[in-house]
Each structure stands twice: as C-alpha cells, then as structure tokens.
A and B are shown apart, each in its own frame.
Chain A
Amino acid sequence: MVGEGILKGLAETARNFFGSYVSKDRLTTVQYPEQREPQIEATRDFPFLVYDGADWQQGMRCVACQICEKECPPKCIFIEKSKDKKPDAFGKMQIYPATFNIDISVCMSCQICVEVCPFDAIKMDVEYHQSSDDRFGALLLNKQRLSKSNEYYNAIHPTEASAVDAQRAEELAKLEAKAKAAAEVKAAAEAKAAADANPALNASPQQPAGDPQ
C-alpha cells in the first residue's frame, strides 16, 4: 500500500515519544552537572604519582628512573633527578625526582607510562575537570599537584590498587624474610667469629682445683 512504510515510521516515533515518559531506556539523558554517571572503574584520564603513608614527599614511590619519560609517545613528561637520596618503602636509599612535570594539554591518556613503570609509582587518575582559564602553566602539573595518596588510589581503582598493594606486601615480606635470614646468618657468623677470636672464654670449663667454697 502506498505510504505503508511512512506509517510504520510514524508509529515507531510515536512509540518513542510516549515511551520517553514511561521507561528509562527511552530517555537516557543524564542532567550534567547535577547528575553524574557512575564512574566506571577502569576509566583513565591523566596520570598521577602515588605516595605511601602521610607525607607526600617522603612516601613518593617514584625513583626518577625516567623510563616513563622515554616511553611516553607525545613526550609530555619532564623529569629532573635529585642529587641526594631518600629511603623508599622497602628501606633502600633511592634518588627521587627533583621536578616531575606532566603537560596534560599534550598527554593523550594512553597509559603507556603506567605500563612501563617498574615501581608502581605512576597510575591513571579519573579527574577530568582540569580545564582552566590560565593559558600559561595551569595545564603543566608539577610534582605536588600530581602526588596523591595510596588511599586515594584504592578509592578510585579498588581492584587494581588492591592487586598492587598485595604484590608490594608480598615483596616486602620476602625482603623482610631475606633480611631476617641474612641477619640470622650474620649473627651466627659473628658469634662464630667471636668464639674463634677468644678460645679461652669459650673453652669448656675445667673442673676447678679448689673446693666449692
């Protein structure tokens, strides 16, 4: 019949019109900024530096190895190494970055820096409200603006963060066990060395000539 397809189309549109008052999936608008979509866990926006503990400078995991700087495709990371060292989470003295800048107007959120970091120091944040009206430098994030705590990391990416934490705890446990074993060996060696150095002290006591008075 003439016009049949047109009538079917009209019926379809009418169904959507009335359906939009009734069912949720025919009106999918989220009224931003009053409503927000729930954050999907794996979202990645811009990088941030993770620190353990309370002090962001002391607890920073980054050791300025500059691997992320080399691997970043648009070359938006700028690192300068420090001259002194500070202890890291495992107790070893490491250098740290004196400056760590990321230009997020260049960053393309590709996550390659996160993949190649051997120290779990740089992870992807979920903050996308980074726009600013300052043209010169507001989008160049420095070390302090980039540092966020491990608790924050656990809050935004729970699965990933707990896996990282478990792995680090395991490493720490292994290190401690190794250190303990090393300490035991050292203590045993010390005791042996002391025994060799002073045989008189360690010789089994002879029966005293005197009487037990």
Chain B
Amino acid sequence: MSTATLAAASLNLEPANESGMDQLLEIAMGPQHPSTHGVFRMNVVLDGERVVRLKPVFGYLHRNHEKIAENETYLGSMPYTDRLDYMCPLTNNWAYALAVEKLAGIQVPERAEYLRVITGELTRLQNHTCLIGFLMQDMGASGTPLMYAFRQREIILDLFEALTGARMMCNYMRFGGCRVDLPAGWLDQAKKVVADFPRFLDEYERLLVSNEILMDRTQDVGVLSKELAISAGISGPMARASGVDYDIRKVDHYSIYDRFNFRVPLGSHGDVYDRFMVRVLEMRESVSILQQALRDIPEGPIVDPKTKIRGFRPKPGEAYGRIEGPKGELGFYLVSDGSPNPYRYRVRPPSLINLTILEDLCLGRNVADIVVILGSIDIVMGEVDR
C-alpha cells in the first residue's frame, strides 16, 4: 500500500518488514474525535494494533491569552483566566490572584481565605467527578457513569451560581480577597451538598471500582515511572499516582491549608487505575476539608480594603504564584513594570506539561489504550493551548 510507505517515509521510518508482511499504518486521531477532550490531534503510527510512534498536535484552541493580558489591566485579565481551564474556573482565578498578591504584597483577610478554600475544593470535587465520568465514557460505558457525574456536578454548579452569579465563568477572586460575600442560606445549602456527597461517591465506587472489565482495561496500562514523572515535571494526581509525594498544598503551605486535617493519597504502580483511584481518594479528602472549612468559617471582611480596583499599579518586579489545581501545578508568572498592564504574563499549564509524556506512555500499547491513557492524564484544551 503506497500510502503507508509514503507516510512512513515522511516520518523517516523504514516500513517494518520483520515478518515480511507488516507495514506501518499512520492514522490521525482528531481534531474532530469523540474522545480527545477537545480539539486535539494525535498522529499515531501503528504496527497492526500496536503503537509505534505518537505525535501530539495541538494549538487548535490557541486564543492569545497571554498577549491579551499584556494589553489588559490586571483586573481585566481575571475573566480571561476563567476560560483557561474551563472545567475549573475558580482555581484559575485563585492562582492568578495569588500571583498578583505576591507581586504587590497584598494581604488577604481570613474569611476570604476560607471562601477561597471552600470554592477551590468544590471545584476539585466537580472536576474529578467529571473526569471519571469522561474516562468511563471513553471506555465505552455508553454514558451511564457520565450522567451520574454530571448530575452531581449540576448540584455544585448551582452553588457556584448562587454565590458568584455564573455557573462556570465565575470571575470570583479579587486581589486581596473575594468579590462578593455569601448570600443568605448558601452555607446551609453547601453543608447539605457536602453531606450528600459521600453517598454519591459510594454509589459511584460500587459501579466502578471492582468492575473486572475496568480493572482489566486500566491496570498496568500507561505505566508512568516515578523517575520519569519527576524528570518530566509532572504534577498533580498523575505524579502522585506514580508515588511522587508532592502536593503543593502541603509543600507551599499557601492560603490556610495548614489548618485543615487532610491526607494526600499516593499510588505505587503509576498506571491508569492508580490515577483513577488517587482521584477518587482525593475527592474523599476534599469532602473532609470542606466539612472542616464550612464548620469553621469566621465572620469578617472579604477583601483587603486598601487594594484599588481601578488604577491598580503594582510596583515593578516579578512574582510566581502557584496552587495545587485539580489537574496539577497551575502557576502564573507575572512581570510588572509599574504600569497598569503586566509586562509579561505567563501561565504554567499543568495539562500541557503532563501531556508531553503521552508518547512514552502509549508506546507498545493498543489503539484502544491510547484513548484511556489520554483520558487519565486529564487534559483540557483551553489550558493546553491557552
């Protein structure tokens, strides 16, 4: 077949002739594909059903986020950070606010910190729920776990809407605190949601955890060794599933996470099943953090009164603010030259950094495994391409 040889030649590969009959097949998965989590293309070279090479191609969703930020004020970039990782807008806001607060030396009052932790952990819950739903959908479970996940997510999004005004593009954090205080009855509603969540987690686990088909498809698939994880800069649940004990909430002690009693789950095999289970366990820990935060939230101001909304000019300098986002280490690097617009604004996207080792994970596996491995890395193209 001349097409295969041409394709192989363009990749500088010899058509494999080991048994005399094998030829390499190059297919492009995406950018329009039901399971590539957005507009993402993978040029996969197959030998039968085994993957020989995999080249990810992205950039289809590039929206000049960093350049736009250079022409906007610091506050004006805040709504744009919502749209980076559009599954977790509140944690994006938080990372950006943290970076600006470091840059300008702003203090955050206590109630605002509690609000940030509450919304951040709720975001983590709904992100992990959806990720597991999408992973099951990619494995062919015709949407049932996905529907359950979205049912729970809707409940959390209702909470966000009552607090911030929008289900997804929340635009809630400000430099020095949060934008608006809790409306009446929100705390009780949130406590009820958090109290109901473990029951949903149990139901979910019953559907999934000891399911033989799931175990068969995810155990020993896409194994990421600890050394590779550290050297490639992998962060978040993906690194922790490989045994790397690195959770920025425990390392940086940012915000008020020191006050909460929570554990960090670690995996040992680094395969898809471990990444999946680490996220399920993290959800349980988030529920625990939420229960503590909702119980202990104090009264007080929600924003630092000295910070200006208009005409905000931080002193010249640079700062890097990072948080433990649901997908990994989300960081913002800002360089200020004293003007109302940042001189340089750079996002450290966890999805992109975690995506760089996709080829190493997929080599030698089947086509069906590619989709499962990609799902377990948890990428959102808004963040990969910015």
Contact = CB atoms under 8 A, between A and B. Distances in A.
Direct A–B touching in the complex (beta carbon < 8 Å)? yes
A110 B215 CA distance: 44
Given A28-B151, A116-B310, A159-B183, A42 B161 contact: yes
A42 B166 CA distance: 8
Interface string A7-49: 0110111001000000000001000000000001111100000
B212 to A, nearest CB: 5
A199 B83 CA distance: 78
B206 interface: yes
B163 A5 contact: no
B171 A111 contact: yes
Interface string B160-181: 0111111001010000000110
Interface string A100-135: 000000001111100110000000100000000000
A6 interface: yes
Interface stretch (B23-31, B71-79, B101-109): B71-79
Contacts of A108: 79, 169
B75 A71 contact: yes
Contacts of B210: 4-5, 8
B171 A5 contact: no
Contacts of A6: 211-213
A67 interface: yes
Contact of B79 (A40, A42, A43, A112): A112
A73 interface: yes
Interface in B298-316: 309-310
B171 A40 contact: no
B183 A42 contact: yes
Contact of B169 (A43, A72, A110): A110
Interface string A55-72: 000000000000100011
A3 interface: yes
Looking at A6, A40, A72, A109, which has the most chain B CB atoms within 10 Å of its CB?
A: A40
Given A4-B210, A5-B211, A13-B144, A43 B165 contact: yes
A85 to B, nearest CB: 25
Given A13-B144, A42-B165, A110-B171, A115 B211 contact: no
B333 interface: no
A200 interface: no
A197 interface: no
Classify chain A: how many residues form its interface, as a range. 20 to 34
A115 B179 contact: yes
A2 interface: yes
A67 to B, nearest CB: 7
Contacts of B79: 73, 108, 110, 112
A71 B76 contact: yes
B220 interface: no
A30 B209 CA distance: 31
B72 A73 contact: yes
B158 interface: yes
B154 interface: yes
Nearest to B165: A44
B197 interface: no
A41 B211 contact: no
Nearest to B209: A5
B207 interface: yes
Contacts of A11: 206
Interface string B81-119: 000000000000000000000000000000000000000
Given A42-B183, A115-B179, A116-B310, A28 B154 contact: yes
B158 A40 contact: yes
A43 B161 contact: yes
Given A5-B211, A71-B76, A115-B179, A42 B171 contact: no
Contacts of B169: 108-110
B212 A5 contact: yes
Contacts of B161: 40, 42-43
Nearest to B162: A40
Given A42-B165, A71-B76, A108-B169, A9 B158 contact: no
B310 A5 contact: no
B80 A12 contact: no
B258 interface: no
A46 to B, nearest CB: 12
A9 B206 CA distance: 6
Contacts of A5: 209-212, 214-215
Top 4 A-B residue pairs of the complex, sorted by shortest distance between their CB atoms: A110-B79, A5-B210, A73-B76, A44-B165
Given A6-B211, A42-B163, 14 more contacts: A3-B212, A4-B210, A5-B211, A5-B215, A6-B213, A8-B207, A9-B208, A13-B144, A16-B144, A73-B79, A108-B169, A115-B179, A116-B309, A159-B184
19 contacts: A4-B210, A5-B211, A5-B215, A6-B211, A13-B207, A16-B144, A41-B183, A42-B161, A44-B166, A67-B310, A71-B76, A73-B72, A73-B77, A109-B166, A109-B169, A112-B75, A112-B79, A124-B165, A159-B183
